[in-house]
Structure 1
Amino acid sequence: MKKLRPLYFLMLLIGLGACEDPYQDSTFTAYEDLPISLLLESQPERFSLWVELMQHGDMYNTLNLKDSYTVFVPSNEGMQQYLEENNWDKVSDMSPEDAAYLVKYHTIHSALISQSQFENGVINDRNATDDNLSIEFREGGLNAIYVNGLSRISELDVVATNGIVHVLEEVLVPVRATIWDKIQADRFSIFREAVQLTGQADLLHTITEEGLDSQGNPVQYRIRMTAFAVPNEVYAAHGINSLGDLVTVLGVEDESYLESSNKLNQYISYHLLSQLRSFSDLGEFPEGETAKNINTLASNEVINISDQAGQLVLNFDRESEEGVGFMEPNVNCKNGVVHIMDSWMPLFTPEQVTVLWDLTDYADLQALCDQYQNSSLNSTYTRTINQEEVSCYRWKSTPEFRSNVVSYRNNRGADGIWYQDALNHDHLRLDLGPSGWIEMDTPVLIKGSYEVTMVYLSYTKSSNTGYLQCSMDGKRLGSQWPVSNSKYDRKLERRMTSSFTFEETKSHTLRIVAVDGELLTLDHIRFTPKD
C-alpha cells in the first residue's frame, strides 16, 4: 500500500474558498444579456429563494463576475422542500457558512458544461467544494437526466454572459459520506466486516491526507478511490451467508488478514482501485477494442472489463458465458465512488488484451493536479512535478539540480487538431538533460508476447532532436528515435519497436533515457498481443 498510496490534492478556488464574498465591488452588468446572479434575480417566480441563498452566503456577486461557471440551480419549489426537510422556515435560518457551501456545491468554476457534454457518470470538472457531481440518464431522454441520482434537470442550457445554468427540481444535498460510510448499510455487512478485518477501513474512510508542497508548505491531498461492493443478497445466492463462509470459500489458510498475501486481503484489495473510475470511465475502450484490463490494489491482479452485447461486464468467462454486472453504478462518495455488483466477484485471470498505458495515469498525479485528464479546459494546465511529491516517477536529471524536469500538461480542447487524439487529453513532458533518465511502472500485463508502440507528440524543429532510448526490466526496447519533426507544426506520432515477451503476469519497469537531453513530449504506450 505504501507504493500505491494515493495522495490527493485539495485546493479550494480562491474566489470560491471563503464565505465572505471577495468580489463584492467587482461585478459587471451586460446591457443585452445578464450574468448568472442577475439572470436568476430577473426571474423571482422561479429562483427567488436561491438568490436569497446566494446573498445570505455572500456568493451573489461572485456569480456575477466576468468568468466561466456551470451552475445547477434548484427551483423555488425544490428550495422550499429542502427548507422544510431541514425544519427551516426561511433561508436566513441557515448559517451563512452552510449557505455558501450549498451554493459552492452546485457550482463548477472555470468550465462551461452544456448538455451535449453530459455522460453517464462522474463530471470530470470538480465543483467549488472540490467534489465530483454525477450525471445519470434514465428512460425519457433529455427529460430524464438526473444529477447525483437525486435531482432531475427540468431545464437545460440556460445561457448567461458568464456561464451556463441547468435548472433542477430539487436541491443537491452535499455528499459527505465516505466509501466506508456507504458500506455501513446492513446489506453490506459481510463485505464491510472483510474490509475491517483486512485493515482497509481507514483507507476507505479517508478524505484528505496532509503533506508538504515543493516549498515545504502544508497542503492537503484529496483521496479519490473506486470500490466494487458486494451486497449480502449476492453472497447468499452463492451460499455465502457470513464472513466465516467467505473465508472458507476463499480457502484462507491462516489469520494473517493484514498481510497482502492473505487470500481475504487479496480479495478485498481486488475490489478497490486507487483512482476514481465512474461507469462511463470504465466503459471507454482503446480504439477498435471491446475489452480492457485495469489494475486493482491487489498485487499483480487485474479486472477485465468488456462490452458484451451492449452491456458493460466485468470478468466475462467465455466458457460459462457469464460475467459480473452492475446492480447500481456510480454511488457518489466524498472520497470516490462505489459500484454495487451482482456477483461476489472472486479473483479472475483474464486473457491478454490490448493495453493503452497512459504515462500520466497514476493516482499520485490525480491527487496532485488541480486539472487532470479534463477534456473541457478553457486554458492549458501545466503542473511541474517534484520527486518528493510522487512515487510513480523516479528520475535522475543532468545536472541533478535541474529544474522543471518532469511536467504534467492537460491541454484545452481548442489547442489544435494535433492534440485532440492524445489519450485522456494530456501528456508527459520531460526535460531530463543529456543522458538523464526516468523510470515508471507499467500496468499489470498478462504474460505473453506484445507488439509495443510508443505514441508521442511531435514538435517542430529544423533537425531531429529529442532522441530517446527505452528499456523494459533492464532489457533494451527497440532503437533510438527522435520525437521532433521538421515537416509539421505539431502532430501525434507513433513509433514501432520490436516485440517484447513478458514471462510473468505483473507490472514491469520502463526506463526512458534522454540521449541528447532535448525535450520529450510523451503520450502513451500501446501493448498489442501477438498471436
Structure 2
Amino acid sequence: MKMKLDVRKITYLVLLGALVSFMINACKRESLTLSTTDDVNITGFLEKNPEKFSLFTQILERSGTKGYLAAYGKYTIFTPDNNAITAWLKELNKTAVDQLSAAELKDIVRFHILPDTVATGKFTDGKLNQITLYGQYLQTGVVFKDGVSSYIINKQALITQSNVRVGNGIIHVIDHVLTPSTKTLAVSIETNSRYSIFTQALKETGFYDSLNYVQSAIPDTTRRFQTVILESDSAIKAAGFSNYAALKAKLSKTGNPQSHADSLWMYVAYHISTGANYTPDIVSSPSLATLVPSEIVTTKLVGTRILLNEDEFNGVIEPGVEVNRTFSNVTTANGVLHESKSFYKIKPRVPTGVYFDISDQPELKLMAAWRVPGQNISLIQNGKFVLSGLRADRIPGRLHLNSTSTLPIGTSDGRSYANRDVIQFSMTTNNTARNIWVELRTPMLVKGKYKVWICYTQNGNGPLSQIGVDVGTTQEQILPNLVDFSQSLTSSGVPTANAALPSADGLMLTNGFKRYMATTADVNQDGVRGIQPISVNNQWSVMVGRLAGVVDIKTTDRHWIRFTTLRGNNDYIMNIDMIHFIPIDDDQNYPRFGTTGAIFKRP
C-alpha cells in the first residue's frame, strides 16, 4: 500500500535506533474478540473479490487450506493478487494453478500466514515477531520513491492494500508471491563467491554439516535457527591471510581443526549464534552469545553503524568491526546471514580491576548539571529512567525520586565522594512508592573471579541489602555478605578517629571493610595528595567500602548487579558512590580515589 508519511513516521522507519524501541512495543499482542461475528472471514473476503483473488482462492482449494481460513481464529495473511500469481506461475513455466501439486501449494500458503493478528503498526525494519506457519520469519521494511513510501515484505513484495480486518484476522494484499528460502546457511555461504575462504573453514571444522540441516529435523523450535556473521574473502585477505591455507596455518595449532581446543574451531564458532537474529535484534541486545563457551560478541549502535566488539575497558576504547549492512539480513532456510567489514576473532583478556563510579553514565554526561557542585539530576523523567543501565521492581512514575547529588570538596559532614557525586536511592519493603530492588548494569567485566566492594556513604536510615549478580538468569549469583548502609567503618572494629590512618587498613580489610577515598597520606603519580580529613568529628568513617563477596564471572560481558532491601520502615536512603570489582589475587585496598577524579595507587 502506498501512503504519504509525515516526518515522524519516516524517522520511525528509517532510523534504526528508534526502530529498536518501536520493535519492543511491537511485541505486545493485539487483543481481539474471539466470539462469532457477522464479519466476513478470510476466505469469504477473497471469494467476494474474485477479480483480484480468484487465483489465490484456487490455491487455497487445491492445497486443502481453505477450510481453516474460513474458521474463526486469529490469522494474518499476506495475499498476492491475481497479477502477482500470474507472474509467479510464469516464472515457474506454468500456466495454471492445477499444474502444481497440493503439497507445493500448501507450503506457499503456509509461508504467507502468521498465527496471530499483525497490523502494519507492528512492522519494523527487521523480522516480524511471529513466525509463519511454514516455519520461517518474514522481514518487513519500507522503500521510498518520489516522496512516497511503501511497505515491503521479504524484499520481494510491496503491500498494495493493508490492514483489511475480517472476522478471523487481518489481510495485507501484496504484489508478488513470497517464496521461502530453500538454501541452508551452509549452502548459502558455499554458493556465494564472496565467502570461499570461510566456506573451507566451515568444512574443515565440521560446522558446514551443523549449518546444513533441514528445519523439520529439529523438533525443538528454539534450536531451528542460527545466525552467522562472517567475513568476505577480501576482509580476510586485508587482515593478512592471502588464502585459507594461510588462515589455517595461523590459527590451527592442534593439527585437528575439529577439536574444540583448536583456535581455528573457536574462530568459526565465534561467528555463530543461536536464534534468528536480524540487525534490529543484534542492536537491541548488548551482546550475542556464540558457540564458543562463555564467549560473546558485543554489539553497539553508533548512528546507523552497527559495531561488533567495540568495547571500553577502564576508560580505553578498543575499536570494533562494522557490520556490512549491504550483505546482511540474508534469510536462509535455517537462519540468518550477516557480513562484517573486517576480520574479527576472540580477544584474549585477563581479569582486570574495574572501579565503577555509578554516576559515570553516558546519559548523565550529556546533562548540563552533571557534576556541577550543588546540582541534582532526577533519574526519572517523563515516567521513565533516564539511564539505560538502571532498572527496578517499581513501575516508572511510581518510583521515589532518585537523584545525583553533586557536592563541593570536603563539605562539613565529611561526605566527599569520588568525583564529588553520589546516587541516592530510596529503598524499603513496606512502601509501594519505593523500591524493593534496583539493578545497575556494570562496565565490561572479563571472565574470572572478583571481590565485589560496595562503596557508599553511611546513612543512619540506610537499608540492609542483599547483593546479587545476574539475578534471574542461569548465571545468577547471590553474594554472601549483607551490606548494611547504616554502618560506618567503625563496624570493622576501627575507632572513628583512626579510620583515615594507614595503620587501620589491615584490620578493616580482615573484617570485610576498606577506605576507598584518598587522604593526605596518599599521593598519586602527579604528586597530588588526597584531601585532609574533615575536622568535624574526623568523619572519614562515613565513607565506606564494604565487601559483598566473591563473584565468578563466567562470560566477558556487561552484567547486572542487584541491590535487594531486606528491611522496611518507610524510607531508607541508600547512597552509592562506586562499585569495585577487583580480581581476588589483586590488591584490594588500592587504588583509592579523590574528589576530583584523581587516582591514587599504593604508595
Tell me which interval the TM-score lies in, with the shorter structure as reference length. 0.5 to 0.7
Alignment partners' CA distance in 2, 1:70 and 1:148 = 15
Q: State the Cα deviation string for residues 125-156 of structure 1 (Å, max 9, x = none).
A: 12112222222334459833322222222222
Aligned twin of 2:254 = 254
Alignment partners' CA distance in 1, 2:184 and 2:58 = 30
Confirm or deny: 8 A CA contact 1:59 1:100 kept in the other structure. yes
Which stretch of structure 1 is more off in the superposition, 310-319 or 45-54?
Answer: 310-319
How has the CA–CA distance of structure 1 residues 320 and 471 changed in structure 2, closer, same or farther, with 3 Å as cutoff?
A: closer
Pairing of 1:156-235 with structure 2 (within 5 A): 156-184=162-190, 185-208=192-215, 223-235=224-236
Matched, 1:344 2:343: yes
Alignment partners' CA distance in 1, 2:355 and 2:309 = 12
How has the CA–CA distance of structure 1 residues 253 and 143 changed in structure 2, closer, same or farther, with 3 Å as cutoff?
A: same
Confirm or deny: 8 A CA contact 1:134 1:148 kept in the other structure. yes
Aligned twin of 1:136 = 141
Confirm or deny: 8 A CA contact 2:223 2:275 kept in the other structure. no
Q: State the Cα deviation string for residues 172-230 of structure 1 (Å, max 9, x = none).
A: 1122221111101222111111011111111101234768xxxxxx9888521111122
Pairing partner for 1:297 from 287, 291, 295 = 291
Alignment partners' CA distance in 1, 2:346 and 2:168 = 49
Q: State the Cα deviation string for residues 401-426 of structure 1 (Å, max 9, x = none).
A: xxxxxxxxxxxxxxxx98xxxxxxxx
Q: 1:503 deviation in Å?
A: 5.9
Counterpart of 2:248 in structure 1: which amino acid?
V
Counterpart of 1:258 in structure 2: which amino acid?
Q
Aligned twin of 1:149 = 155
Q: 1:64 deviation in Å?
A: 1.3
Aligned twin of 2:106 = 100
TM-score, normalising length: structure 1: 0.59
How has the CA–CA distance of structure 1 residues 499 and 308 changed in structure 2, closer, same or farther, with 3 Å as cutoff?
A: farther
Q: 1:507 deviation in Å?
A: 8.1
Confirm or deny: 8 A CA contact 1:179 1:334 kept in the other structure. yes
Q: 1:254 deviation in Å?
A: 3.5
Matched, 1:114 2:114: no
Q: State the Cα deviation string for residues 348-400 of structure 1 (Å, max 9, x = none).
A: 3699899xxxxxxxxxxxxxxxxxxxxxxxxxxxxxxxxxxxxxxxxxxxxxx
Aligned twin of 1:69 = 75
Pairing of 1:288-437 with structure 2 (within 5 A): 292-316=286-310, 319=317, 321-327=319-325, 328-348=327-347
Aligned twin of 1:446 = 446
Provide the aligned C-alpha RMSD in A: 3.9
Counterpart of 1:66 in structure 2: which amino acid?
Y
Alignment partners' CA distance in 2, 1:76 and 1:502 = 63
How has the CA–CA distance of structure 1 residues 478 and 116 changed in structure 2, closer, same or farther, with 3 Å as cutoff?
A: farther
Q: State the Cα deviation string for residues 411-449 of structure 1 (Å, max 9, x = none).
A: xxxxxx98xxxxxxxxxxxxxxxxxxxxxxxxx963456
Q: Give 1 or 2 for the bigger CA radius of gyration.
A: 2
Counterpart of 1:227 in structure 2: which amino acid?
V
Alignment partners' CA distance in 2, 1:283 and 1:120 = 12
Counterpart of 1:333 in structure 2: which amino acid?
T
Q: 1:455 deviation in Å?
A: 9.2
The alignment covers a number of residue pairs equal to: 358
Q: Secondary structure at the match of 1:180?
A: helix
Q: Percent identity?
A: 22
Counterpart of 1:300 in structure 2: which amino acid?
S
Confirm or deny: 8 A CA contact 2:117 2:169 kept in the other structure. yes
How has the CA–CA distance of structure 1 residues 143 and 42 changed in structure 2, closer, same or farther, with 3 Å as cutoff?
A: farther
Counterpart of 2:287 in structure 1: which amino acid?
N
Aligned twin of 1:265 = 265
Counterpart of 1:159 in structure 2: which amino acid?
R
Confirm or deny: 8 A CA contact 2:185 2:334 kept in the other structure. yes
Q: 1:478 deviation in Å?
A: 5.7
Q: 1:84 deviation in Å?
A: 0.5
Counterpart of 2:46 in structure 1: which amino acid?
L
Q: State the Cα deviation string for residues 87-130 of structure 1 (Å, max 9, x = none).
A: 11101111111112211111112x11111111222222121122
Counterpart of 1:119 in structure 2: which amino acid?
T
Confirm or deny: 8 A CA contact 1:210 1:219 kept in the other structure. no
Q: 1:70 deviation in Å?
A: 0.5
Confirm or deny: 8 A CA contact 1:143 1:154 kept in the other structure. no
Alignment partners' CA distance in 1, 2:231 and 2:170 = 38
Q: Secondary structure at the match of 2:298?
A: strand
Matched, 1:80 2:86: yes
Aligned twin of 1:492 = none
How has the CA–CA distance of structure 1 residues 243 and 353 changed in structure 2, closer, same or farther, with 3 Å as cutoff?
A: farther
Alignment partners' CA distance in 1, 2:162 and 2:130 = 18
Counterpart of 1:192 in structure 2: which amino acid?
T
TM-score, normalising length: structure 2: 0.52
Q: Secondary structure at the match of 1:61?
A: helix
Aligned twin of 1:238 = 239
Q: 1:66 deviation in Å?
A: 0.9
Q: Secondary structure at the match of 2:328?
A: strand
